[in-house]
Amino acid sequence: MTSADSNGSFTIASLTQEQVDKYCATSEQFWESYHRGLQAPFSPDNQFKDKTLDEWVAIVGNSPGALAGIKQLTGFPVLRGEAFIFFWAGHLLTNYRLQITIDGVMSNIPLYLVSHCGQEPDGGPFVLRYDAESGSKELRFVGTFIKPQLVNAVLDAKLFQELDHVQRFLLESSLYGIVTRRQDLAFPRIESPAPTHETPQYAQLSQSGAAKKSLRGVLIVAAIILLLGLIGAMFGDGQGASGGRLLQNGEIPGYSSCIEELATSCPRCPIKMCCVRVGGDNYKPGVFPTCEKYVR
């Protein structure tokens, strides 16, 4: 199936405001879909599936990499039901599309056009083949954190199969390409949360319903925290619970700007470099890596 076949004879001149309103996600709808997507077994953030919507929005708000990915995605019409899954250094994956950036050039590829996604043996390059109006295309690149296994898991879920020809046209288009020719159309804007220092983040203890309702549970948690702080003070390096206020990621001065610089100047470099640069005391890798720094 080529790009032309995927949306039939639908053209930009045929697009109406009613269709934009029907198919494009509002900010609220985007965040609800992003949150629901945590339930998917292939989601790299599945461990956060029990977080409330507000908690998840706060987590993302303190994650510069995720915010950069959302900013990239919103250069395109975001469909209702489209769930953000992964982003790093220009490579982005949702349940409907894959965006690959090579040498500063980004390709927006609907998943229904992908014919092959894999990696050559012995750690060889990532290989992606997809259909386009000019015929079959192939992208080959190395040094990316996006894994073929993740892309193929999303492809196997086939969540894009129910998209009609209008939705597919929107998915294949950029906002710039549409609004420069159709200035009469208005698209909803996806708003991102501002970083907050008050909402507990993913590296902190989660508040279960039982802990909220049970005094016994609160006392147990408090006792454990106190014990860990005492142990850290006795045997650690003085950076435990009694060693000062804990800052994480965007709370640490200079960390967010370092991540943004790294994503453009050295996308293959490990994020840990920024944690070291800002004097972090602890680094936890993962889909949302965590840099921690204690300030007395």
For the segment 71-95, what is each residue's pLDDT rounded down to a tens digit?
A: 999 999 999 999 999 998 889 999 9
**Total tally of structural domains belonging to the chain:** 2
Amino acid at 113: L
Classify the phi-psi angles of 27: left when phi > 0, otherwise alpha if psi is within -120 to 50, otherwise beta: alpha
- Range of the structural domain that residue 225 is part of: 209-295
Do 106 and 241 lie in one domain? The reply is no
- Which of 161, 179, 197 is a domain's end point? 179
- pTM confidence score: 0.66
Do 151 and 257 lie in one domain? The reply is no
Amino acid at 269: C
Sheet containing 126-132: which strands, arranged edge to edge? 114-119, 126-132, 135-141
Do 136 and 81 lie in one domain? The reply is yes
Do 148 and 12 lie in one domain? The reply is yes
Amino acid at 184: D
Classify residue 263: in a domain, yes or no: yes
Nearest alpha-carbon partner for 32 in 51, 63, 53: 53
Could you tell me the two tokens for 37?
Answer: 């997507």
Classify residue 196: in a domain, yes or no: no
283-294 pLDDT, tens digit each: 876 556 788 888
* Cα–Cα distance measured from residue 73 to residue 61, given in angstroms and rounded to the nearest whole number: 16
- Residue pair 146/93 in contact (Cβ under 8 Å)? The answer is yes
145-193 pLDDT, tens digit each: 778 899 999 999 999 999 999 999 999 999 999 999 999 999 999 998 8
Give me the phi and psi of 177, to 5 degrees please.
Answer: -65, -30
